[in-house]
Amino acid sequence: MKFQYTLGAALVAAMLATACGKKEEAPAAAAPAAPTAKQSVEVLHYWTSGGEAASAAELKKMLEAKGHEWKDFAVAGGGGENAMTVLKSRAVSGNPPTAAQVKGPAIQEWANEGMLASIDAVATAEKWDDLLPKVVADVMKANGNYVAAPVNVHRVNWMWANPEVLNKAGVKGMPTTWDEFFVAADKIKKSGAIALAHGGQNWQDFTVFESVALGVGGAQFYNDALVKLDPAALNSPTMTKVLTTFRKLKGYTDAASPGRDWNMTTALVIQGKAGFQFMGDWAKGEFTAAGKKPGEGFLCAAAPGTANAYTFNVDSFIMFKLKDEAAQKAQGDLASAILSTEFQEVFNQNKGSIPVRLGHDMSKFDDCAKLSATDFVATAKSGGLVPSVAHGMAIEPAKQGSIQDVVTAFWNDGKLSVAEAQKRIAAVATAK
Ligand code: GAL
């Protein structure tokens, strides 16, 4: 999985093009669209929260505008674990959907099963190799053919806050270090609000954990420990500090945290019941859907200690082999819609992410998205751009799952010592 180390570099080029104001060229005139019969296009996804559903609705709209019928195959469950289980059973029974929300190294796993279709006809006609950063494109290809279409770039290392809760507690400004965070969290706790809104589910625990690792250890440490799985980094005193800091956060969560969905958790911040949440910028989709504006109804900042780093998470749809020619054509229309400027603009504004297309005009996006785009360029140059491990961008799914299991066990079991958890993480991460 060589691409995991180079994905950042290609994305850099993309964002540099954006930053330099590179004008988008008019898309190559695609072959004149032949009238297509109304086809049912079944799309598996896990976008069921308010902001996510609004985003998915845009794709549906665009597909229907092309004369097709959207067959929604939504499987609730943040992070997509439930969706992947359902997808596997559908695929095993020989009845896969038209497309499914699958990303990162998992795309290659599906391609290796021989189940994915080439969408090169669309990709070539629409010049995807020029529209996309090379290494994003490489992740979307198997044996040189496009088998998936990328949707966006999410940043994971965000901290969200309710400004009123902070004000009431006497917290001035967003904390920029973990020490500052704990001082602020103590004040919020004292004021009677929940300091840290957290949903106790394995993928949410892992999401917070990777931000702590990035903030405490820096990008180099993050890469060594969680991407390269280097035993020296995994067994280092820095990792000990990461686990200690992560554990300390638990004391600032509420009793109803275990099992709570991420969007219900964001709702606590929206409603002024909690001060902070650590979550990727799909959380911004919830604030936006609730009519809140950045800087007024909510605040966004990089998680403490991570202002010079960026954990990226690129959503994409894999395309399954279909027998019927008309169904294949509709699948191509879906792929084409996903990469269109129009879709990238409206989808990403709802979703909280930034466009994956090169040179996209960011002027209509909000300040958090603009910060994301700026930081993307800056971190790409500085080496602070790293793949999100918790969101399937860096290591094979099975290994990701084993590390996540230990992190969650550690979060939930106060009797599991830091030393023991560190030993277990290193053991599962380096197991052959
Ligand atoms: C991420 C995914 C996002 C969002 C989130 C919550 O892994 O990339 O698009 O859906 O999970 O489910």
Domain definitions of the chain by residue range: 40-154+313-370, 156-312+388-430
Number of H helices, E strands in the chain: 19, 15
Among 46, 81, 139, 311, the mutation site with the greatest number of ligand 1 atoms within 8 A of its Cβ is 46
Which residue's structure tokens are 């749809």? 317
Please give the distance, rounded to the nearest whole angstrom, from the Cα atom of residue 326 to the centre of ligand 1: 31
Report which ligand 1 atom has the smallest distance to the Cα of 282.
4
Please give the distance, rounded to the nearest whole angstrom, from the Cα atom of residue 101 to the centre of ligand 1: 10
Q: Whose CA is nearest to atom 2 of ligand 1?
A: 79
**The pLDDT value given to residue 359:** 87
**The pLDDT value given to residue 2:** 33
**The pLDDT value given to residue 35:** 53
What CA–CA distance (Å, rounded) separates 160 from 274?
10
Structure tokens at 191: 């004021």
Tens-digit pLDDT profile for residues 175-205: 999 999 999 999 999 999 999 999 999 999 9
| Tens-binned pLDDT, residue by residue, of the chain (432 aa) | 333 333 443 444 444 344 333 434 444 444 445 555 689 999 999 999 999 999 999 999 999 999 999 999 999 999 999 999 999 999 999 999 999 999 999 999 999 999 999 999 999 999 999 998 777 898 999 999 999 999 999 999 999 999 999 999 999 999 999 999 999 999 999 999 999 999 999 999 999 999 999 999 999 999 999 999 999 999 999 999 999 999 999 999 999 999 999 999 999 999 999 999 999 999 999 999 999 999 999 999 999 999 999 999 999 999 999 999 999 999 999 999 999 999 999 999 999 999 999 889 999 999 999 999 999 889 988 999 999 999 999 999 999 999 999 999 999 999 999 999 999 999 999 998
- pTM (predicted TM-score): 0.92
CATH code for the domain defined by 156-312+388-430 = 3.40.190.10
**Domain 40-154+313-370: which topology?**
D-Maltodextrin-Binding Protein; domain 2 (3.40.190)
Who lines ligand 1 at CB under 6 A?
46-47, 52, 78-80, 154, 282, 313, 315, 391
Report which ligand 1 atom has the smallest distance to the Cα of 313.
8
Check for a shared fold between 40-154+313-370 and 156-312+388-430: yes
Please give the distance, rounded to the nearest whole angstrom, from the Cα atom of residue 282 to the centre of ligand 1: 7
**Residue 339 CA to its chain's centroid (Å):** 18
Please give the distance, rounded to the nearest whole angstrom, from the Cα atom of residue 77 to the centre of ligand 1: 9
Closest alpha carbon to 73 in 44, 99, 50: 44
Q: Whose CA is nearest to atom 9 of ligand 1?
A: 315
Residue ranges of the alpha helices (H) in 261-324? 262-270, 282-289
In terms of phi and psi (left: phi > 0; alpha: psi -120 to 50; beta: otherwise), the region of 259 is left
**Angle CA(173)–CA(153)–CA(282) in degrees, nearest 5?**
55
